[in-house]
Amino acid sequence: MTWAALTALLSHWRRNRLQFVALIFGLALATALWSGVQAINAEARASYDAAAATLGESQFDQLVPRAGETMPEDIYVLLRRAGWLVSPVIEGRFDGDTGRVRLVGLDPLTAPGAIAPVGLDGDTDLGAFLTTGVLFANAETAARIGEAAPVPVVVDASVAPGVALTDVGIAQGILQAEGVLSRLIVARTQPMGVTPLETLVPELVRQPAQEAGADRLTDSFHLNLTAFGLLSFAVGIFIVHGTIALAFEQRRSMVRTLRALGVPLRTLVGLMIGELVLFAVLAGALGVVLGYGIAAVLLPNVAATLQGLYGASVAGSLQLRADWWLSGMAIAVLGTGFAALGALWKIATMPLLASARPRAWAVASGDSARRLAVCAAALLIAAGAIAIWGQGLLMGFALLACLLVGAAFLLPGFLRGVVGLAGHRASGVVGQWFWADTRQQIPGMSLALMALLLATAANVGVSTMVSSFRVTFVDFLDQRLAPELFVRLEDAADSAALETFLIANAREVLPLMSVEIEVEDVPSDLFGVRVGDTYREDWLFLADTANAWNRVAQGDAAVVSEQFARRAGVWIDDDITIGALGVFPVAAIVADYGNPLGQILVSEQAFRAQFPDLIPLQFGVRSDDPEALQRVLVETYGLSEGAILNQARVKAFSVEVFERTFTITGALNVLTLAVAAFAILMSLLTLAAIRVPQLAPVWALGLTRRSLGGLEVVRAVVLASVTTVLAIPLGLLLAWVLLSFVNVEAFGWKLPMYLFPGHYLVLSGFALLAAGLAALWPAWRLARTPPSDLLKVFANDR
Amino acid sequence: MIARVLVLLMLWPGLVMAQGFAGLGTEADGFSIPQRGAAFDFPADHGPHPDYRIEWWYLTANLEDAEGRPYGVQWTLFRSALAPETREGWQDPQIWFAHAAVTTSDQHLVAERFARGGIGQAGVGTDPFEAWIDDWQMVGPDFDNLRLTARGADFAYDLGLTATGPVIFHGDDGYSVKSAQGQASYYYSQPYYDVAGTLTLPDGAVAVTGQAWLDREWSSQPLSDTQTGWDWFSLSFDTGDKMMGFLLRDEDGTAFSSATWIAPDGTTTAYPDGAFRAQPLETHAVARRVVPTRWAVQLPDRDVDVTVTALNPNAWMAVSIPYWEGPVLIEGSHGGRGYLEMTGYE
Amino acid sequence: MRKSYPGAEGVVEVLRGVDIDLAAGGTLALTGESGSGKSTLLHLIGGLDVADGGTIRVDGQEITGLDDTGRAALRRSTVGVVFQQFNLIPSLTVEANIAFQARLAGVADAGRLAHLAQALGLTPHLSKYPEALSGGQQQRVAIARTLAAQPKLVLADEPTGNLDEATASDVLDQMLKLVRDTGAALLVVTHSPAVAARMDRQVHLSQGRLA
């Protein structure tokens, strides 16, 4: 009996192959987008971590020479033999064929945790790495090294750009620096009872592990990608929900018949669940593979983005990991379950003698439209409440969910309203029929249009977010990297002389003096700044009072970072007590991204008065010709090249990076819209069968099939336009939630939101194009429907 | 990432400690091969043999504190050569690594070190004797009088060792056969150290005394292709007799056994394959593996029929190449203490 | 006229040479068993389908050579068809349905529409949607819609086939009366002798030929 019932149930799919394809592909696409974005995220994060670790700077304390650039390698052996777990690093540059390459020499045997030459795989000869030598570099760096390679080069995409990694001994040879090291990496865990470093090696300075500011930015980027992945999946689930609901509606009569023939309801529902799980697994597997494809195609861009952004490198190749399979399959099955719940419930509760005639499906009736509208209102009110009173990251995501689902539920009502209004305005008879007919199609198209709504909104939201991120970041770079050169001294005794020399040769000299201090219980960096043109012109405030810099210059006020302000609970005009310096009113708030410490700026005079012994070792230098000044500093003044950082170059590079972000965002935009277009296509194809009886009378009364087909395309575009009209504000709300709510909850800072009407226009255009393209085939099919098929509608024996 | 390097090290021909014994090559690749009948030359042979692939200085000690509580201590220095030569500086192909452990009935504290030769971070010298890696060392004026130190994040020890008997040789005068195919190593021991010193544990310092057993072994092709791991016993009986015995397990379920009986005066008897027997009586799940931690051990020729039980069944060496190693208690025909090492349990 | 369709067992000849004349103002019943080809004949005359051979003249116009657009125009303004079912546009109100064809043909006249609605008893239902009407009412809407466009020829395919006897007679009465008022010709396809008897002439079709 079970087998017979199953055969009967499955026969539906044989008869309705299109539905089957829609179900499997809808689910597969949803899973694909989800797992694709996840894959990109995971891979990017893993590789970023590896690359950051390669540089060894973000994770571990370092021992560096107090004076000079190098230390004898005996110090390394001395420390090891004293029990200290340190690992040697030598760094330098060598000339490749087409440019200089930074060479990093490590010891794979002692490097702590995740540090070691990356890419040592089974094919690599460890003996060769340790003894005769191998360089690891990414393809670009390898090309730059070219024929000048002192030892064989192994291309490994996960090595940071511009860096070649090798064994420490090999590096010494290449750099002609036998017997010396640049620094030592200090493992986090040390043996018990080791002699303090100050006693053992007073000539070395221990630099604490750097607070990884870039990590926070990367995390923000990943969080946003994850949100995007979820949105994409939601789009896919709308398709699946629609398909399942339709298939179940159409099988109502079959279910009734089977039950009448004695198949227990429990068996039937069980069979249907089994059938769905099977489909979900099938489609999930397909989706994971598709997602892998998407990720593999997009990954070079992601890699480029992260690499450029943070100097972190992302492996260009991708492995299909077990956890993606698992999460992909899980989300496919759960998504299907979620989408099928309502349909199964209806089947389970359907009275045996209920009308077997398929009702117009899902949200067809006015009743359910009203119910949807009520749900929408409730969800949107909840969203509003969360926006006002909610706190925490979870609430941020709840807000997103309420907003999105609420808006989606609102869509059918909104469409009915707009189309109804248009119908009233229409004058021609065909026009009136068109609008009336369009209105009638709304229930059938709702789910697909909801998918389009979410896709477009997600795209608008993400593009706003990424663009705002970019504008803000560039501004931030402008203000923080305003000095063209950045000069660092090793010896405090040189400070005064260098400052005099710089003042004579540069436009503006900005000594950088800071101490770590707790202000209002917030761990912070206190800076003494020389208020001049640079601060006045380049620093942008999130909020400020009149004459802010003048008041700071006079020692009457302080400027604080946003993180500090939020954590200390102060805003402009509030007073803060800065240790022994006394009480300062807050004159302005500046943005400071990815810094866990608060920042407080007071005037140089106020700072020096309190910390007279603090000699500035770092100077920001403004110059109209930084390259020339750099040469003078090296050749005339005698600074080492490593002491000067050309920030103009850093800035240019960073700005270029964000352009790459758009490539990914653009690609993901196209993909989500493709999924939505698929939803529309499937809806139209499914509707086509229902459409014939609706269109046949109109045709019989004198409209050609061609014009009917044309009107079908116009109808899809019209519905898509109305949907887009709702999608743009929704997308902006989405961006607002991501920037002002989720980001604050996750990272403690708010990103200002910028609007990009041009983008939205293009995105809307894409959405309409997607809808139009999706409608093209069904319309073409309609235009080619043989008259006999149309006539069958009227046939007596129907 | 270091893990990947270690996978490599593990797969490197000559690393006997690996569980993946099957991956070890049996080709000698320019390395020297042990020869039957070769004469030992001391103190030179206490030092390294860089033309052999693998070598170790392997010390285990059964100790107890003033209250009679038992402790186990392990100190092992391994040498693994990438090429049969030594060089000055970083390019030295001699790689050194070491394991140290302290075992109590409820604690097992482990540390590990890596270094390469050529730069002074690790090595072994013979006059005076000194074996070291980082700050871990086994130094003496000579091989009979040693000071042994090591420390990890949560333990340290500092022990004095004094030999009260002679060095003894396993197999055929130190030529120890490891398989029916004839793979062999040079193998001698100093099982007669008296120990006194201090263990520093998370709860504080403990003064301990007891006995230690030092194994010296080197080879270039120690195992045959099909051998999957081993169970090694060093047992000190209350009678003053000592016994070393091992099983080399084959993938077909059989085992190759070998044993040395050491009389109180240091005279030895070597037993060929089959004389020494050991069967697991009880297993214990540790580190997601199942390891036998209670054994029935027999050497009928000496009327030995004993049960060997781990002091702490959780004595898992969670190092890059993990294995089980810990002190054991002996009951049955003979009483006593000893050490058990088990490798290749997956 | 001749017409054949590809069927499951090869090409099926539905009409094998049929000649029919119907003068303006005349009424004609076309009867025959299921599959006799009577609906096909009606479709050909109505410009809903294309004949394989022969000629059809409606209001003096040769329609066999018309293309899709020409036939659509014919359906709009010269011929009106009343089907057995699925006649109405579900998305439009009764009023809009009645006016639909007349407006397509450009001959909509409010007075005439009101008169037709009145005559067919539809006035109370004008703002309803077709799904809210009974079968008889729906058929009256279809008749009103057809007549509102003032076609020269009204074609009806089993117009009362889905109705009970009393309603059928009622609807037929109203249709005949209104058709006579406009002076149009009426061709009714039916298998009901009662319906056929109400027409001026009766023609029986059997196996694609006139009997």
Reported as a single tens digit per residue, the pLDDT across A257-282 is: 677 666 677 778 888 888 888 888 98
Whether A and C touch, i.e. at least 3 CB pairs below 8 A, reads as yes
Distance between A712 CA and the closest CA of chain C, angstroms: 15
DSSP string for A550-611 = HHHHTTS-EEEEHHHHHHHT--TT-EEEEGGGEEEEEEEEE--TT-SSEEEEEEHHHHHHH-
Section A436-446 average pLDDT: 81
DSSP string for B70-87 = EEEEEEEEEEEESSS---
- ipTM for the assembly: 0.91
Burial of A584 (0-12, 13-18, 19+ CB in 10 A): buried
Whether residues A124 and B90 touch (CB distance < 8 A) is answered with no
Residues of chain C found within 8 Å of residue A698, distances taken between Cβ atoms: 89
Residue A316: the pLDDT is 44
Residue A485: the pLDDT is 81
Whether residues C91 and A437 touch (CB distance < 8 A) is answered with yes
Residue A158: the pLDDT is 65
What confidence tier does A511 reach under pLDDT thresholds 50, 70, 90?
Answer: confident
User: With 80 as the cut, is the pLDDT of residue A690 above it?
Assistant: no
Reported as a single tens digit per residue, the pLDDT across C137-151 is: 888 888 888 888 888
Whether residues B2 and A118 touch (CB distance < 8 A) is answered with no
Reported as a single tens digit per residue, the pLDDT across A179-237 is: 999 889 888 889 988 999 888 988 887 776 644 444 555 566 566 666 666 666 666 66
Give yes or no for a contact between A519 and A597, defined as CB atoms under 8 angstroms apart.
no
Residue A363: the pLDDT is 37
Which residue of C34, C46, C74 is in closest CB contact with A797? C34
Distance between B65 CA and the closest CA of chain A, angstroms: 22
Reported as a single tens digit per residue, the pLDDT across A605-641 is: 888 888 888 888 778 888 888 888 888 887 777 776 6
Range of the domain at B228: 42-342
Counted across chains A and C, CB pairs separated by less than 8 A come out at 90
Residue A356: the pLDDT is 43
Distance between A779 CA and the closest CA of chain C, angstroms: 17
At position B196, the amino acid (one-letter code) is: A
* C-alpha distance from residue B253 to each of B170, B250, B270 (Å): 25, 6, 24
Give yes or no for a contact between A657 and A214, defined as CB atoms under 8 angstroms apart.
no
What six digits make up the tokens of C192?
């009901």
User: With 70 as the cut, is the pLDDT of residue A292 above it?
Assistant: yes
Stretch (H or E) spanning A529: strand A522-529
Which residue of C83, C90, C92 is in closest CB contact with A794? C83
Burial of B304 (0-12, 13-18, 19+ CB in 10 A): buried
Q: What is the DSSP pairing of strand B268-271 with strand B255-262? A: antiparallel
Whether residues A73 and B4 touch (CB distance < 8 A) is answered with no
Nearest CA in chain A to C146: A701
Classify residue B71: in a domain, yes or no: yes
Residue A272: the pLDDT is 86
Burial of C198 (0-12, 13-18, 19+ CB in 10 A): middle
Nearest Cα residue to A407 out of A454, A442, A338, A460: A454
More confident residue, C180 or B269: B269
Give yes or no for a contact between A307 and A54, defined as CB atoms under 8 angstroms apart.
no
What six digits make up the tokens of A698?
């109109």
What six digits make up the tokens of C150?
């003032």
Section A316-322 average pLDDT: 53
Nearest CA in chain A to C39: A795
- Interface of chain A against chain B, CB under 8 Å? 50, 53, 73, 76-77, 80-83, 85, 107-118, 120-122, 124, 126-127, 130-132, 167-170, 172, 178, 189-193
What confidence tier does A53 reach under pLDDT thresholds 50, 70, 90?
Answer: very low
Whether residues A797 and C157 touch (CB distance < 8 A) is answered with no
Residue A1: the pLDDT is 59
What confidence tier does B237 reach under pLDDT thresholds 50, 70, 90?
Answer: very high
User: With 80 as the cut, is the pLDDT of residue A131 above it?
Assistant: no
User: With 80 as the cut, is the pLDDT of residue B291 above it?
Assistant: yes
Reported as a single tens digit per residue, the pLDDT across B43-62 is: 999 999 999 989 999 999 99
In the numeric block, the tokens 């006139």 are attached to: C210
More confident residue, B215 or A409: B215
Classify residue B129: in a domain, yes or no: yes
Q: Tell me whether C72 touches chain A (CB under 8 Å).
A: yes
Q: Tell me whether C104 touches chain A (CB under 8 Å).
A: yes
Q: C33, C48, C150: best mutation site toward chain A, by most A Cβ within 10 Å?
A: C48
Reported as a single tens digit per residue, the pLDDT across A633-656 is: 877 777 766 567 666 665 655 555
Nearest CA in chain C to A437: C91
At position A416, the amino acid (one-letter code) is: R
Reported as a single tens digit per residue, the pLDDT across A735-790 is: 888 777 777 776 666 677 888 888 888 888 888 888 888 888 888 888 888 877 77
Structural domain boundaries of chain C?
2-210
Residue A307: the pLDDT is 45
Nearest Cα residue to A284 out of A33, A17, A13, A19: A33
Reported as a single tens digit per residue, the pLDDT across A694-737 is: 788 888 877 888 888 888 888 888 888 888 888 889 888 888 88
What confidence tier does B305 reach under pLDDT thresholds 50, 70, 90?
Answer: very high
Q: A791, A792, A798: best mutation site toward chain C, by most C Cβ within 10 Å?
A: A791
Reported as a single tens digit per residue, the pLDDT across B83-130 is: 899 988 898 989 999 999 999 999 999 999 999 899 999 999 998 999
Reported as a single tens digit per residue, the pLDDT across A168-189 is: 999 999 999 899 998 898 888 8
User: What homologous superfamily is domain C2-210 in, according to CATH?
Assistant: P-loop containing nucleotide triphosphate hydrolases (3.40.50.300)
Nearest CA in chain A to B83: A127
Q: Tell me whether C190 touches chain A (CB under 8 Å).
A: no
Q: How many CB atoms lie within 10 A of CB C34?
A: 9
Distance between A235 CA and the closest CA of chain B, angstroms: 39
Give yes or no for a contact between C209 and C18, defined as CB atoms under 8 angstroms apart.
yes
Give yes or no for a contact between A479 and A615, defined as CB atoms under 8 angstroms apart.
no
Section A129-145 average pLDDT: 83
Categorise residue B210: left if φ over 0, alpha if ψ from -120 to 50, beta otherwise: left
Stretch (H or E) spanning B147: strand B145-151
Which residue of C5, C104, C157 is in closest CB contact with A701? C104
Which residue of A429, A791, A793 is in closest CB contact with C104? A429
Residues of chain B found within 8 Å of residue A122, distances taken between Cβ atoms: 8, 11
DSSP string for A168-231 = HHHHHHHTT-TTEESEEEEPSS--TTPPPHHHH-TTEEEEPPPP-HHHHHHHHHHHHHHHHHHH
User: With 80 as the cut, is the pLDDT of residue A381 above it?
Assistant: yes
Backbone φ and ψ of A108, nearest 5°: -65, -20
More confident residue, A551 or B339: B339
Q: Tell me whether C115 touches chain A (CB under 8 Å).
A: no
Total-model pTM: 0.54
- H helix count then E strand count, chain B: 1, 23
Residue B165: the pLDDT is 93
At position A179, the amino acid (one-letter code) is: G
User: With 70 as the cut, is the pLDDT of residue A95 above it?
Assistant: yes
User: With 60 as the cut, is the pLDDT of residue B140 above it?
Assistant: yes
At position A163, the amino acid (one-letter code) is: V
Which residue of B4, B95, B154 is in closest CB contact with A109? B95
Nearest CA in chain A to C46: A700
Residue A758: the pLDDT is 85
What confidence tier does A664 reach under pLDDT thresholds 50, 70, 90?
Answer: low
Give yes or no for a contact between A16 and A233, defined as CB atoms under 8 angstroms apart.
no
Classify residue B3: in a domain, yes or no: no
Reported as a single tens digit per residue, the pLDDT across B317-331 is: 988 788 999 999 999
Reported as a single tens digit per residue, the pLDDT across A561-597 is: 887 888 888 888 899 988 888 889 999 988 776 566 7
In the numeric block, the tokens 């997308």 are attached to: A731
Residue A129: the pLDDT is 78
Residues of chain C found within 8 Å of residue A693, distances taken between Cβ atoms: 86
Classify residue B279: in a domain, yes or no: yes
Which stretch of A647-651, B20-24, C70-74, C77-81 has the lowest confidence by average pLDDT?
B20-24
Distance between B262 CA and the closest CA of chain A, angstroms: 37
Total domains in chain B come to: 1
Question: Rounded to an integer, what distance in angstroms lies between the CA atom of residue B71 and that of residue B58?
Answer: 17
Q: SS3 of A128, please?
A: helix
Reported as a single tens digit per residue, the pLDDT across C167-205 is: 888 888 888 888 888 888 888 888 888 888 888 888 888
Classify residue B15: in a domain, yes or no: no
Q: SS3 of B180, please?
A: coil
Mean per-residue pLDDT over chain C, rounded: 80
Q: Tell me whether C49 touches chain A (CB under 8 Å).
A: yes
Classify residue B7: in a domain, yes or no: no
DSSP string for B29-53 = TT-----TTPPP-TTGGGS--TTSS
Give yes or no for a contact between B324 and B345, defined as CB atoms under 8 angstroms apart.
yes
CATH of residue B122's domain is 2.40.370.10
Helix, strand, coil percent content, chain B, rounded in steps of 5? 5, 55, 40
Classify residue B77: in a domain, yes or no: yes
User: With 80 as the cut, is the pLDDT of residue A346 above it?
Assistant: no
Classify residue B49: in a domain, yes or no: yes
In the numeric block, the tokens 């016994």 are attached to: B243
Residues of chain B found within 8 Å of residue A50, distances taken between Cβ atoms: 1
CA angle A390, A395, A398 (to 5 degrees): 125
At position C118, the amino acid (one-letter code) is: Q
Question: Rounded to an integer, what distance in angstroms lies between the CA atom of residue B302 and that of residue B298?
Answer: 9
Which residue of A698, A793, A796 is in closest CB contact with C89? A698
Q: SS3 of A630, please?
A: helix
